[in-house]
Amino acid sequence: MKTKLKILISLCLVLTSLQTVIADTEDQESIEINAKIEIEKVSRNIINALRYGKFGLADLEWKKIQAEVYKSFAEYDYLNGSLLYSRMEWQEAKESLNRALKKEPNHEAASFLLGMIYAQEDSWSEAKETWIETNQISPYNPFYHYNLGLAYYILKDYNNAITSLNKSLEYKTNYNEAKLILAKTYLELNQVDKAKTELVSILEQDPKHIQASHLMGRVVYLLDKDPKKSLTYLKNPRALGWREKKVYARCYFEMRKWREAENLLRPIAYSPFADEYDQSFYLNLLLNLGFDERANDFFHFIQKQSQNESKIAEAYRMLLSSREGKDLLYHYFKLRY
């Protein structure tokens, strides 16, 4: 009888222990499920706050998920990387985003933002490679294809730029930013008629589009050699890219508006990548304006230049292109500063 009682007590203890283990397991699963629900809710709040520049709200939301249970999720590291990105703390943001991708390799938002950091650091090759992976994760997002196309454009890989930008337009038909970079790409390939087609499409939808208007003036000059008509497309000289400055300076020169031409061409003439045509053109402008002393100084300046033997010119041109590219990128978040 005693033996049976002992066996019965042992069985009860085992059953109680099993119930405790099951209950603990269920509690743990419940905690993890609740944590996942909470972090997804907070994630939406943080992302929306960052998109609209409500950085204080984003920081307050972040404080809600500092318990240890949240830190195992890839989303935690992504959100941390997003907050660091908004503060322009690039290196720390990259480390956090890479942790997110290690936990969840198909986390498209982390992959996209990692590419943005490379672009902000002027590392366009790394941005391109990262965005190739992003587009493999999410192949139907027009903004991902657009940024990849822009990276190809900055890197002068024009054929791939055209492919990516057309893919972007396939998923977002009236995406004027993609059409603009496509027009720029066609101009680099001297396919002026194709560039004009894209610009006409943009200006039909948005007649006040400054960048498209400036490019159209360049196209008109290349096709028609009509400086007066080209200048009707000039909206804001301060917003001109360096390629457009050359064209509009030439237009002003042909209209005998030499002072306006000199103002536009000056930063080009003194840049490391000015060619002999730019320099002789600028010298001519100075002489036409009666600035003999400045013309003499400029002549001595260009005599000292060794731009053809230096890598500085190409580096400077790349930095200018990079600055232009960063302005044209599709930005998902605002920056704090």
Angstrom CA distances, 326 to 49, 302, 333, stand at 22, 31, 13
Label residue 53 left, alpha or beta by phi (over 0 means left) and psi (-120 to 50 means alpha).
left
In the three-class reduction of DSSP (H, G, I as helix; E, B as strand; rest coil), residue 226 is classed as coil
Q: What is the pLDDT of residues 130-174, one digit of tens each?
A: 999 999 999 999 999 999 999 999 999 999 999 999 999 999 999
Mean pLDDT of 23-52: 80
In 138-175, where does DSSP find H-type helix?
Answer: 142-154, 158-171
Sign of CA dihedral 136, 139, 141, 142: positive
CB-facing half-sphere around the CA of 255: CA atoms within 13 A: 20
CB 71 within 8 A of CB 91: no
> What is the 3-class SS of 280-293, one letter each residue?
HHHHHHHHHCCCHH
State the average pLDDT over residues 306-335: 76
**Cα→Cα distances 332→32, 55, 275, 335, Å:** 29, 14, 38, 10
What would the mean pLDDT of 207-221 be, rounded to a whole number?
Answer: 96
Q: 26 pLDDT exceeds 50?
A: no
Amino acid at site 248: Y
**Separation of alpha carbons 293 and 7, rounded Å:** 112
Cα–Cα dist 307/320, whole Å: 17
177: pLDDT strictly greater than 90: yes
Closest listed residue to residue 78, CA positions, set 51, 96, 90, 92 = 96
Q: pTM of the entire structure?
A: 0.86
Sign of CA dihedral 208, 210, 215, 219: positive
What pLDDT, in 10s, does the model give residues 85-141? 999 999 999 999 999 999 999 999 999 999 999 999 999 999 999 999 999 999 999
Alpha-carbon gap, residue 211 to 244, rounded angstroms: 10
Rg (CA), the chain: 29
Per-residue confidence band for 1, with pLDDT thresholds at 50, 70 and 90: low
Mean pLDDT of the chain: 89
